Every structure is written in C-alpha cells, then in structure tokens.
Amino acid sequence: MRYAARVIHVLPPHVARLIAAGEVVSRPLDVVRELVDNALDAGATRIEVEVEEGGLRVVRVRDNGVGIPAESVALAAVRHATSKLPPDVSAVESVTTLGFRGEALWAAAQAGHLHLVTRPAAQVGAAEVHAHAEDVQVGRTSAPAGTTVAVSGLFGALPARLRTQLPPASEVREITALLGRYVLHHPAVHWRVTVDGEARVTHAPADHRGAVASVYGPVSANRVLAVEAGGVRGVVSRPELTRARRDRMHFSVNGRPVQAPPELEKAVIEGYAELLPAGVAPLCVLDLTVAPGDHNPNVHPAKQTVALADLPGVAARVRSAVAAALAAHPLARLAPALS
Ligand code: ADP
Ligand code: MG
C-alpha cells in the first residue's frame, strides 16, 4: 500500500480549515502575539494582556485603540478580511502595519472560542462578536472605547494539538518574554500583563530607558546610552554592562520585534570596537526603520524572522549608530576602569 499509486481527493472544508488555522495559531503564544499586534495596529496607547492556565483557558487583550466600526464587526473573524490592505496587489509591497493577512482572528476562532467587543470612540454603543468554527454571532452591547478580544478554550476540540502543548508554566515563561520584547520596542504604550490573576509586567509610558527599567530593572536602565541615527533608535548598554550570551540583544523592524539575523548582532558588537571585551555581548534595544518594500515579513507565518533586502546596508547603519552613541558619551569609555 505504501508505494501504491493513490487517488487524490479534496479535503472537506472543516478539515482544511483546521489545518490552515493551525499554521497561524499553533499555541497560546501565537494568540498573544496576534492580538497584541492588532492592538498596536489600532494605535492603542494602553494594552492589557491577561493569560490563564498558560493561555489555554483564556488569552484576553484589551486596548484603547481605534476600535472597529459596528458595520464591519461581522467581518472581523472572516478569513482574509482585513482593514489594513486595500484590495490591490501593489499594496502588498508597502504594508506598514503588523497585520495584513486577515487571518489571525479567523484562526483563533477555529482553534477556540473568540469573543470580541469593540467601540470606536465616536460611536454610540459597542458591538460584539462570538465566533467559533463557522458559527459567527454579532450583537450589540456597551463598552468603553477600544477593543477587547478574548480567545478561550484553545484547542478544546483538538485533543492531539492539546497534548503537544508546553506545560502552562513554560508557555507563560515564553509569553512573558515575548511581551517583555514588546514593552522594550513600544515603550510609549502603557502595558499591563496579568497571569492567572497576578500582575507580571507593568509599564507606564516612557522612553527606551524606562522600558529597560520595567523589563530588566533600574540597575540595567542606569547603564544604557541612547542611540539615534540613520533610522536606528533605542539604547545600548555601557561597555561595563555585558552578558556572556546574546540574550539581551533586541531588535525590531518597523515596529515588529524580530529574531535578528546574527549579522545585526555582530554589527552592534562591532560598533563598540575595542570597548567591549572579546566574547561578551551588550544589552541593546534597537528599533530599525526600513522602507516597507525593503523587507519581507512574510518568510515565516509568525512573522518573527525578517528578510531584509539590504542586510549589509542595515548592518552598516546599526554599526555606525552604535559607534556614534558610544563616542557621544565619553564616560562610557572610562566605565570599565570604574567598575
Ligand atoms: P489583520 O490584522 O491581518 O488585518 P486580523 O484577523 O488580526 O487580521 O484582524 C482582522 C481585522 O479586524 C483587522 O484588519 C482590523 O480591522 C480588525 N481588528 C482586529 N483587532 C482589532 C483591534 N484590537 N482594534 C481595532 N481593530 C481590530
Ligand atoms: Mg492581525
């Protein structure tokens, strides 16, 4: 049978749907990332994330962003429905939002139960949607301006998927680390992260240094220098604040926290020149701005790896921005002798 020629059949829609949704949402962390991306795309200045039982019981994200107009709410959880791309092929090359595929809410509603409540500030009364699989119910309610999306009972109908999930404590660790990166790269937002009812991350609007304080504590925050040159913004640590691993080197590209290519980490280290002892890494939080057409966030469904069209050029910008920041703070040069 194994080597026999076999007929091809088209999968029933509900099976195809679950497989496709699984590409976008395969674990609670994916739901957190997608909902937070939506809140940032909505211009929120306040984002609250609640996670229960490792996110399998519920992931809830509340924002004070622009909301969804009542007449569009029924489309929010429809596949390939988005407000972020005009229906025009050329627009795909110039997306500036974190989302653009119109798949996240749809996928969340396949993997679990989606409840969305939303109200644009100028609209009287809020709209709500309950969505699960093909069942979508729209209603009216009242709510503050902004949007709250809750995804509950993730993978309740998919025992095999449920069995392969990390233990809740491990998933929470990764979710908290991810949200820490969002805080670092979006420090002007008021963040609050609650895990099983307990506050894990709170961050009041600040600059990058303030975000380092929220995530790594005031000692680290007092040892960073501002970087701002050539489309590279953020902070780097003074040379005395080093790590054996590169685990505190953070990059975002056009607002999206990304897994940086090693070339960019290397460029930062080169920016220190002889100031940094060999084999150690600094702390850095760097937001890179590139032309929308110069990077492709599509290489991975989770959009966490980026393909930069001009990686050497971006690396050169990073190297010189870091070098300039260190040169502007002569104390940074004395610091190793003082510590
Ligand atoms: P995408 O973000 O790729 O457009 P989603 O499935 O994540 O797809 O969301 C579908 C649409 O729902 C978005 O395009 C947006 O119009 C709306 N939406 C989702 N979340 C929010 C939110 N938090 N605030 C405002 N609008 C939202
Ligand atoms: Mg989205």
**Cβ–Cβ < 8 Å for 127, 143:** no
The closest residue, in CA terms, to atom 2 on ligand 1 is 99
38 C-alpha to ligand 1 centroid (Å): 5
Single pTM value for the model: 0.93
| Residue 63 belongs to domain spanning | 13-203
Which long-range CB contacts under 8 A does 64-68 form with residues at least 24 apart? 64/144, 64/145, 64/146, 65/39, 65/41, 65/146, 65/147, 66/42, 66/120, 66/121, 67/42, 67/118, 67/119, 67/120, 67/121, 67/123, 67/145, 67/146, 67/147, 68/116, 68/118, 68/120, 68/127, 68/147
pLDDT 10s digits, 288-331: 999 887 877 666 656 667 788 899 999 999 999 999 999 988 76
At 192, give phi and psi (nearest 5°).
-145, 125
333 and 234 within one domain: yes
330 and 276 within one domain: yes
272 C-alpha to ligand 1 centroid (Å): 41
257 C-alpha to ligand 2 centroid (Å): 15
In a domain, 4, yes or no: no
145 and 33 within one domain: yes
pLDDT 10s digits, 114-171: 999 999 999 999 999 999 998 999 999 999 999 999 999 999 988 889 999 999 999 9
Ligand 1 pocket, Cβ-based, cut-off 6 angstroms: 34, 38-39, 42, 63, 65-68, 76, 82-84, 99-106, 147
In a domain, 117, yes or no: yes
230 and 199 within one domain: no
180 and 51 within one domain: yes
Q: In whole angstroms, what is the distance from residue 127 CA to residue 143 CA?
A: 8
In a domain, 211, yes or no: no
* pLDDT value of position 2: 78
In a domain, 26, yes or no: yes
40 C-alpha to ligand 2 centroid (Å): 10
263 and 317 within one domain: yes
97 C-alpha to ligand 2 centroid (Å): 9
Looking at all shown ligands, the one closest to residue 85's CA atom is 1
222 and 116 within one domain: no
In a domain, 227, yes or no: yes
* pLDDT value of position 35: 98
| Ion ligand 2 nearby residues (CB, 5 A) | 38, 99, 104
Alpha carbon 121 to its chain's center: 25
Mutate to test the pocket of ligand 1, among 82, 92, 103, 151 (most ligand atoms within 8 A of CB): 82
Percent of the chain clearing pLDDT 70 (strictly above) = 95
ipTM of the complex: 0.99
108 and 192 within one domain: yes
251 and 188 within one domain: no
Mutate to test the pocket of ligand 1, among 41, 80, 97, 115 (most ligand atoms within 8 A of CB): 41
259 and 126 within one domain: no
* pLDDT value of position 324: 96
In a domain, 210, yes or no: no
123 and 272 within one domain: no
- Tell me the mean pLDDT in the region 225-240: 95
Mutate to test the pocket of ligand 1, among 25, 83, 119 (most ligand atoms within 8 A of CB): 83
pLDDT 10s digits, 168-200: 999 999 999 999 999 999 999 999 999 999 999
pLDDT 10s digits, 200-218: 999 999 999 999 999 999 9
* pLDDT value of position 235: 98
What CATH number is attached to the domain comprising 276? Answer: 3.30.230.10
Looking at all shown ligands, the one closest to residue 65's CA atom is 1
23 C-alpha to ligand 1 centroid (Å): 18
Domain boundary among 203, 237, 262: 203
Q: pLDDT category, 338, cuts 50, 70, 90? A: very low
Q: pLDDT category, 96, cuts 50, 70, 90? A: confident
In a domain, 291, yes or no: yes
* pLDDT value of position 226: 97
- How many structural domains compose the chain? 2
Whether pLDDT at 50 is above 70: yes
What CATH number is attached to the domain comprising 96? Answer: 3.30.565.10
The closest residue, in CA terms, to atom 14 on ligand 1 is 82
In a domain, 151, yes or no: yes
Mean pLDDT of the chain: 92
The closest residue, in CA terms, to atom 13 on ligand 1 is 82
161 and 24 within one domain: yes
Q: pLDDT category, 337, cuts 50, 70, 90? A: very low
**Cβ–Cβ < 8 Å for 283, 319:** no
Domain boundary among 177, 203, 229: 203
Domain boundary among 154, 175, 203: 203
